[in-house]
Amino acid sequence: MSAAIIQHVKSGDIKALARSISMIENEAPGYEELLLESAATAVPIIGITGPPGAGKSTLVDGLIKQIVEAGKRVAVLCVDPSSPFNLGALLGDRIRMSNWYTHPNVYIRSLASRGALGGLHPKIVEITEWLKAAPFDYIITETVGVGQSEVEITGLADLTVVVVVPEAGDEVQTMKSGIMEIADLFVVNKADRPEADQFVRNLRLMLAPAFHRSQIEIPVVKTIASTGEGLGELWAAILKQLSLQSFNEHKSWLLAERAFQLIQARRMKGVHKEVIKEMIAKELKEGSFNLYQFVSKMDN
């Protein structure tokens, strides 16, 4: 069955892609076979992050339009906050991107963060890599929007776009210790609001020392996503930055962390804490328990 799904996904079958992502997300039987077939292709991953209310979803909607008009195909992963009741995604992004759900060149998938602190989904690495098996030209990942903890996106994406709004004001100083330092490109959205130009100037001044250290300019693009203003310039800036990207050191750290988790899970398979507790309780009653002898015995 997995082989059939793989062929359907590679041929562009959206229904097969949706089913296979659900398999990966829920670790259904056969999901590892799918992941073994994920292709190490050069499909660019564009990460969109920023504080809540910055207009990330509306901005992604506009970027989809730019990509579609260029005759390209795009997959979009929207990581939504988890419901406190059923741990599912709240699906708020579907409202803002509803125009694209039936478009043949667009695939949009909402994922629940499931409590993950990096603004992403616990299986985001696997799902993103699997999307590369399908015939997409670009993959966009939009994070939850929780602030400084979202820096994990820089390890996943080939290009990280940080969206801010003019009202950020004094928050820039607070944010730059985390989320502000991961940007390959800044978007000042809702640029029709007061003080937008001053905010852009302050942001560029803040970025100047980084430019002198690395000689790599971080662009700042003004947009009004709700009207589409500036989105053409933003997409052109994204394409330019993608063409300049070199090796992403953050990605190797993210993948190393995920590899460690997977290896740890495999080695711990069949080891249950409740069973260990019962074994320890028995030895404690016998008066023969030694923690390190016990661990050594279990390890063998």
What 3-state class would DSSP assign to 186? strand
**Alpha-carbon gap, residue 83 to 98, rounded angstroms:** 21
Average pLDDT score, the chain: 81
Q: Which amino acid would we find at residue 3? A: A
Residue among 185, 177, 180 nearest 157 (CA): 185
pLDDT of residue 119: 44
The fraction of the chain above a pLDDT of 70, given in percent, is 76
Residues 6+ apart with CB under 8 A from 15: 8
pLDDT digits (tens, 9 = 90+) for 180-239: 677 889 999 999 998 899 888 888 888 876 554 556 788 999 999 999 999 999 999 999
pLDDT of residue 182: 78
**Alpha-carbon gap, residue 163 to 153, rounded angstroms:** 13
**How large is the greatest C-alpha to C-alpha distance in the chain, in angstroms?**
75
Residue 255 has pLDDT above 50, yes or no: yes
Residues 6+ apart with CB under 8 A from 248: 154, 155, 158
Cβ(183)–Cβ(218) below 8 Å? yes
Q: Which region among 83-87, 120-124, 217-221, 285-289 has the lowest average model confidence (pLDDT)?
A: 83-87
pTM: 0.80
pLDDT of residue 174: 45
Q: Is 146 left (phi over 0), alpha (psi -120 to 50) or beta?
A: alpha
pLDDT of residue 295: 85
What angle, rounded to 10 degrees, do the helices at 14-26 and 124-131 form?
Answer: 160
Residues 6+ apart with CB under 8 A from 60: 48, 76, 78, 93, 96, 97, 140, 142
Residue 72 has pLDDT above 70, yes or no: yes
pLDDT of residue 81: 60
**Alpha-carbon gap, residue 199 to 180, rounded angstroms:** 14
pLDDT of residue 61: 93
pLDDT of residue 92: 52
How many beta carbons lie within 10 A of that of residue 2, not counting itself?
16
Q: Which region among 18-27, 62-71, 167-176, 266-275 has the lowest average model confidence (pLDDT)?
A: 167-176
Q: Which amino acid would we find at residue 114? A: R
* Domain 38-248 homologous superfamily, CATH: P-loop containing nucleotide triphosphate hydrolases (3.40.50.300)
Copy the structure tokens of residue 249: 């050191």
Residue 21 has pLDDT above 50, yes or no: yes
Confidence of residue 289 (pLDDT cuts 50, 70, 90): confident
Of 51 and 236, more confident = 236
pLDDT of residue 173: 55
Cβ(157)–Cβ(245) below 8 Å? no
Q: Where are the domains of the chain?
A: 1-37, 38-248, 256-299
Distances from the Cα of 63 to the Cαs of 82, 198, 218, 232, in angstroms?
Answer: 25, 25, 19, 8
Confidence of residue 171 (pLDDT cuts 50, 70, 90): low
Residue 186: alpha-carbon gap to chain centroid? 17
pLDDT of residue 94: 57
